[in-house]
């Protein structure tokens, strides 16, 4: 499982959802969070030279730059391309999942979610990253 | 040269669809986009006005027959108006006159009281079920509250005086627009917010208000997935917003109401399609 000190970037245009994700991740032991209100703000944090972000949990459907836009930028940049990236979505249509997988998402969390659901996904992502 | 869109309006409780004067290829494409959306409308009767249509090719006929079949499945009906003699002849040759249910006038088509939609009548539960299930799931999993849904009905205005906040999502497609709202009283919302985040609030401000949008987002996301998959609709993702102290607004189209009760009080989903 991820080191609980891993800096987590939580991206969502809705503060309530950022709080819910942080609350769930805190229950899992994580302590270090940074928040962004959309994909553009998130990218400016991730691309900063001193960024220590080790895990991104981002909403999909946001104004300005969406979670998918952010994911594509992350994957196309050498410095951030291997970052564990989970997308949060209120939809679970097969076409959406395929789009996210094609863009290089590590996993996705369907809203509504529990802390246990996030934990399961994080364990899967950690195992996948460390098996590679 | 006709416009490349299908004009629709709600008249006397029926969805009046005026087919445009366009090529059969364009009509096929327009029907393909529109038919799926008409199915979600609460109106139980759909009237096709063929006044601008000189002829239909087999592809368009097949689409219209498919729509008629879908309407029958959900116990809705249709009739056709202003079909010219040549098209009537073609439909007769194909044995489709009964299927197209040709009427002399709009009034003649509506002259069946059991099929006439009006505010207050029951609405199609199958199309509302994804919203009811989505709400129950969102509140149970994310908030830890069990919702009990009441009987859906329709009314002629959006929001109620007692509403302190509503999450709202706008749906916009070429031949179909609508709004879906999740409405709370002040006490109801504060109770839900505290259960959701474990934070006490006494007033609803912009920061807390987005909880209403986010809960609606989850409900809409669930309903959209089911409606697209099982009913062939093409609903797109949409960004919900929060409205603090919404005021009742008269609607020219029926507003479908799904009431819910919970330990934290009552709440409603309101759906209006136009």
For residue A96, pLDDT beyond 70: yes
Burial readout B169-178 (b: 16 or more C-beta within 10 A, e: otherwise):
bebeeebbeb
pLDDT at residue B173, as a whole number: 63
Distance CA A102, CA A125 (A): 16
Q: Which of A55-59, B97-101, B250-254 has the highest mean pLDDT?
A: A55-59
Ranges of CATH 3.30.750.24 domains, chain B: 7-114
pLDDT at residue B2, as a whole number: 47
**Tens-digit pLDDT profile for residues B41-71:** 778 889 999 999 999 999 999 989 988 888 8
To test the contact with chain A by mutation, choose from B137, B180, B225, B228 the residue with the greatest count of A C-beta atoms within 10 A, namely B225
pLDDT at residue B162, as a whole number: 96
Distance CA A79, CA A64 (A): 23
Lowest mean pLDDT among A53-57, B94-98, B145-149, B191-195: B94-98
The chain A residue lying nearest B206, using CA atoms, is A15
For residue A88, pLDDT beyond 60: yes
The rounded percent of chain B whose pLDDT value lies above 70 is 92
Torsions phi, psi for B136 (to 5 deg) = -60, -45
pLDDT at residue B243, as a whole number: 97
For residue B112, pLDDT beyond 80: no
Between these two residues, B246 and B63, which has the higher pLDDT value?
A: B246
> How many contacts (CB atoms, under 8 Å) link A and B?
61
pLDDT at residue A69, as a whole number: 95
Burial class (CB in 10 A: 0-12, 13-18, 19+), B200: exposed
For residue B160, pLDDT beyond 90: yes
> CB–CB of A91 and B224 under 8 A?
yes
Distance CA B223, CA B217 (A): 10
**For residue B68, what are the contacts with CB-CB under 8 A and spacing of at least 6?**
B78, B99, B100
> CB–CB of B141 and A112 under 8 A?
yes
B 29-88 → A contacts, CB under 8 A: none
Torsions phi, psi for B112 (to 5 deg) = -135, 90
Lowest mean pLDDT among A7-11, B3-7, B37-41, B170-174: B170-174
Q: Are strands A107-110 and B265-273 parallel, antiparallel or unpaired?
A: unpaired
pLDDT at residue B69, as a whole number: 83
Structure tokens at A18: 């950022």
Confidence of residue B114 (pLDDT cuts 50, 70, 90): very low
Distance CA B52, CA B38 (A): 20
pTM assigned to the model = 0.72
Q: Tokens 């504060």, residue?
A: B190
Distance CA A20, CA A23 (A): 5
Q: What DSSP line would sit under B96-164, residue for residue?
A: -HHHHTB-SSHHHHH--GGG---TTS---HHHHHHHHHHHHHHIIIII----EE---EEEEEES-TT--
For residue B1, pLDDT beyond 50: no
Q: Which CATH architecture has domain B7-114?
A: 2-Layer Sandwich (3.30)
Q: What DSSP line would sit under B47-80, residue for residue?
A: EEE-TT-S---HHHHHHHHHHHHHHHHTT-EEEE
- In 3-state terms, what secondary structure has residue A128? helix
Residues making up chain A, counted from first to last: 132
Q: What is the mean pLDDT of chain B?
A: 87
pLDDT at residue A129, as a whole number: 86
* Residue numbers in A near B141 (CB within 8 A): 112-114
Torsions phi, psi for B164 (to 5 deg) = -100, -25
* Strand order through the sheet with A33-36: A33-36, A8-11, A55-59, A85-89, A107-110
Torsions phi, psi for A83 (to 5 deg) = -60, 130
The rounded percent of chain B whose pLDDT value lies above 90 is 54
Residue B220 is given by DSSP the state: H
CB of B223 within 8 Å of a chain A CB? The answer is no
Q: What superfamily in CATH does domain B125-273 come from?
A: CheC-like (3.40.1550.10)
Between these two residues, B19 and B177, which has the higher pLDDT value?
A: B19
pLDDT at residue B209, as a whole number: 96
The chain A residue lying nearest B218, using CA atoms, is A90
Mean pLDDT, rounded, for A81-104: 89
Mean pLDDT, rounded, for A45-58: 96
Distance from CA of A14 to the nearest CA of B (A): 6
Distance CA A28, CA A48 (A): 27
For residue B188, pLDDT beyond 60: yes
Q: What is the mean pLDDT of chain A?
A: 93
Mapped to the 3 state alphabet, what secondary structure does B150-194 carry?
CCCEEEEEECCCCCCEEEEEEEEECCEEEEEEEEECHHHHHHHHH
Distance CA B142, CA A119 (A): 15
CB of B205 within 8 Å of a chain A CB? The answer is no
**Tens-digit pLDDT profile for residues A16-45:** 999 999 999 999 999 999 999 999 999 999
Mean pLDDT, rounded, for B177-194: 95
Distance CA B94, CA B136 (A): 48
For residue B123, pLDDT beyond 80: no
Ranges of CATH 3.40.1550.10 domains, chain B: 125-273
Name residue B266's beta-bridge partners. Answer: B261
Structure tokens at A61: 């459907």
């Amino acid at each position: 499982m991820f080191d609980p000190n891993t800096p987590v970037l939580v991206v969502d245009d809705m503060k309530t959802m950022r709080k819910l994700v942080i609350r769930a991740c805190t229950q899992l032991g994580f302590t270090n969070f940074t928040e962004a209100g959309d994909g553009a703000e998130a990218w400016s944090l991730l691309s900063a030279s001193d960024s220590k972000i080790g895990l991104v949990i981002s909403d999909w459907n946001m104004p300005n730059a969406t979670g998918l836009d952010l994911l594509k930028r992350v994957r196309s940049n050498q410095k951030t391309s291997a970052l564990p990236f989970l997308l949060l979505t209120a939809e679970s249509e097969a076409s959406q999942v395929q789009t996210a997988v094609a863009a290089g998402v590590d996993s996705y969390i369907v809203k509504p979610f529990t802390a246990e659901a996030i934990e399961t996904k994080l364990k899967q992502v950690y195992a996948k990253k460390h098996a590679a | 040269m006709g416009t490349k869109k299908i004009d629709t309006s709600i008249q006397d409780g029926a969805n009046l669809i005026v087919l445009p004067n366009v090529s059969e290829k364009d009509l096929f494409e327009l029907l393909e986009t529109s038919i799926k959306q008409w199915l979600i409308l609460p109106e139980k009767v759909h009237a096709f006005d063929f006044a601008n249509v000189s002829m239909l090719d087999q592809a368009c006929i097949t689409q219209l027959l498919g729509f008629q079949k879908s309407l029958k499945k959900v116990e809705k009906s249709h009739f056709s108006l202003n079909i010219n003699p040549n098209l009537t002849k073609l439909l007769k040759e194909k044995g489709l006159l009964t299927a197209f249910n040709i009427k002399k006038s709009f009034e003649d088509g509506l002259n069946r009281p059991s099929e006439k939609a009006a505010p207050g009548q029951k609405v199609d539960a199958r199309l509302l079920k994804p919203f009811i299930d989505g709400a129950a799931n969102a509140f149970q999993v994310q908030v830890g509250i069990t919702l009990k849904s009441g009987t859906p009905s329709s009314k002629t205005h959006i929001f109620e005086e007692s509403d302190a906040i509503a999450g709202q999502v706008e749906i916009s497609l070429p031949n179909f627009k609508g709004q879906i709202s999740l409405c709370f009283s002040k006490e109801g919302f504060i109770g839900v917010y505290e259960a959701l985040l474990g934070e006490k609030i006494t007033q609803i401000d912009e920061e807390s208000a987005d909880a209403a949008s986010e809960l609606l987002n989850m409900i809409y996301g669930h309903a959209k997935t089911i409606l697209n998959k099982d009913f062939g609709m093409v609903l797109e993702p949409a960004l919900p917003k929060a409205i603090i102290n919404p005021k009742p607004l008269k609607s020219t189209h029926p507003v479908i109401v799904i009431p819910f009760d919970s330990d934290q009080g009552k709440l409603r989903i309101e759906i209006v399609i136009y």
